[in-house]
Amino acid sequence: MQLTVNGVPTDVPDPTTVAALVAERTEGHRRVAVAVNGGVVPRSSWEATALAAGDAVEVLAPTAGG
């Protein structure tokens, strides 16, 4: 199925959860925030939150700088 991940059209297996997407996109999911269709998904809900075709997902990680 196709999602938009961080503004980029992306094909992912169906079904996919937020947890699976984060595991695929990051080396680990410490210090990562996720929003689906503009709403923040609490880390405690990642495993149970299924993604649907057309969802807009933002996977955000803090960066250091100054």
pLDDT of 10-19, one tens digit each? 999 999 999 9
Distance, in Å, from the CA atom of 12 to the CA atom of 57, rounded to the nearest integer, reads 12
DSSP state of 4: E
pLDDT band with cut points at 50, 70 and 90 for residue 66: low
What pLDDT score was predicted for residue 29? 63
Greater pLDDT, 30 or 11 = 11
* pTM greater than 0.85 (yes/no): yes
pLDDT band with cut points at 50, 70 and 90 for residue 28: low
